[in-house]
Structure 1
């Protein structure tokens, strides 16, 4: 393995640049400070009502004049505000279901900070030996040399399980990666998720929920690399003999492919499918200064494209209902017991809301720690300390 940063630029088409996205996600503190006083007293806002997310069925608290929630066939879904973390509506939010490749959002949250994108790695046969039959692949080959950024394009665009296996091997092995993902989920307050196969491959007992996947998607938007990868429409991927070939994101709501109309303002994030999970999707979109995150799991009607159309209808409802519903819960459940920023701070130039200085400081500390960790991993790789086996 060699470590280097190539001058070759991978051609990508991004639905939204990471910098623009970060500028549009208001900090939770600012969002909450901007809420009107529900009691109309001019004093402190009234305490939020208790969460309804543990209740079965559809949960929504409509104010007079708010639009009705659309009828969708998915077994579970969530509509949430990415800035404040408010859940605007949900259906069986904590129902535990197979996540398919939407679990790769948690994989990225866990592994992205550990590996600089410019690191180059020659793939061994051992790293590809345990890719499950029928897996979605991007085309990683034994003996091929890839930058880490190439592998991440393979994960986000083509849902490549081959790329996931290589990245997991580079950061400790298959079982160790699953364990770290499990710990990361718990740290985020995602209690419905049980990780057994980091690529989302159908495995008995592996589950997540619409709530947890919305948490992962929202957390991913705080990471500039995650935000950039999940918004990428197409890229060039290394092939054999120094050639490259084009790959395109399989999220049809992002690309507008196969007869699915592209959703205006869509940011990403990740789609998935297995025979056990059905179609799953975590999507984020921006309209004006607001970003919504929607999870849809396993629609029961409408065929393979229903997951996109049901997500579209929930996004439309969420933007129309914003400010006209009371939240039924929060995606911040895991952050209440410990200090830290709940969302990306808003720079002063991005709008009238200002992020608290403590949010900026905490975000800087996280970024610094991630940078130190990435440097340490790069040094370890450079010294040849990767005699690890997937277990």
Structure 2
């Protein structure tokens, strides 16, 4: 039996089919690897080319406490005034020792994390790859790296020890080092799955992992809350703490340096004090990131007067040089003035009795969630792809893609 189809519906189906057939040719090995050759135009508010609403989701997670699921600035009774001029889409200030969240803004807004996702990578892979392990790198090990990736300068055919590779990850945000360590962990696909499992184990409900290095991928997101979980977890690992706190080091040389080691400085400028950014007193370390879709992201830990804070900042909107570091410095100062004097607004221990985990009836990635989160009217299709079934056949409909190569976080 053939059902009647109106001319309007028939016209729409034909148009969708034509679009799908044409766009299908754009799907190739780069997209299959999780690193699209040309990332789709971002639907992330504040990102260059972003066309979405600049509002957080209507139903954010309440992991860590109901107040953390509320939009806008959240501070408790007795808190000092927040610093003026904060423009980040999302931020969290927390006591690393007690887990108390002292203040936050849009703590559970899922946003592209850029290379701050490498903290989760380290949380996951550091315990799995022996400290004394090494690998002779092949061209295959570096396959699948995204265009414009930040790199420390790994040379195929050369052997690297795990400590050197980790310094490449933390100091230079090297996606090449991440890929080699992923191979040592059993491969990129396994590492991505391991990272997702680790995130879930930490209570990081906003995080969806698609690449091990933080390179933009459609649907890959985290949140200021989750990044705080990753950094707090990492600080419990001595190697993580040492690597993230290293300002400079020597890295094994290759043919271009005649085999001589060369110096590398940490792209986390608040730690290294380079490019006009002053070092922060008491800074333990952390991880910075930047892509054209994510904007600037930064996570830092610092210690003062017996207190250790973790602070995360995602995508400052004010277009000023080093704005992410300025806002981080302001929030660290604010946090140290607030710790022990203000009522917390939540906790980094989402399973504790004081917390109220879960979402308000909407799961991450659903159409209802993403339509309110600036991810487009077709959920993740706003930044990725959607499958449309016409007459029993599947067609891939791709959104318009960026015409420029993605900018990496090579300079933090």
TM above 0.5, one fold? yes
Aligned residues: 287
**How do 1:137-286 residues align onto structure 2 when only pairs under 5 Å count?**
137-240=151-254, 241-286=258-303
SS at match of 1:121: strand
CA positional deviation for 1:139: 0.3
SS at match of 2:102: strand
SS at match of 2:164: helix
Where structure 2 has 5 or more consecutive residues not aligned to the other structure, the ranges are 1-63, 355-412
* 1:53 and 2:59 are equivalent in the alignment: no
Question: Aligned partners of 1:335, 1:114: CA distance in 2, in Å?
Answer: 28
In the other structure, the counterpart of 1:62 is: 77
Where structure 1 has 5 or more consecutive residues not aligned to the other structure, the ranges are 1-48, 338-391
| Contact 1:188 1:335 (C-alpha < 8 Å) held by counterparts | no
**How do 1:1-391 residues align onto structure 2 when only pairs under 5 Å count?**
51-63=66-78, 66-71=79-84, 72-240=86-254, 241-334=258-351
If each structure's helix is expressed as a fraction of its own residues, which one has the higher value? Answer: 1
| Contact 2:65 2:350 (C-alpha < 8 Å) held by counterparts | no
| Contact 2:65 2:347 (C-alpha < 8 Å) held by counterparts | no
TM-score, structure 1 as length reference:
0.72
CA positional deviation for 1:336: 6.6
**Residue 67 to residue 181, structure 1, CA distance change in 2 (3 Å):** same
Root mean square deviation of aligned Cα: 1.5
CA positional deviation for 1:117: 2.1
**Residue 222 to residue 239, structure 1, CA distance change in 2 (3 Å):** same
Question: Aligned partners of 1:232, 1:335: CA distance in 2, in Å?
Answer: 33
| Contact 1:189 1:335 (C-alpha < 8 Å) held by counterparts | no
**Residue 206 to residue 304, structure 1, CA distance change in 2 (3 Å):** farther
SS at match of 2:340: coil
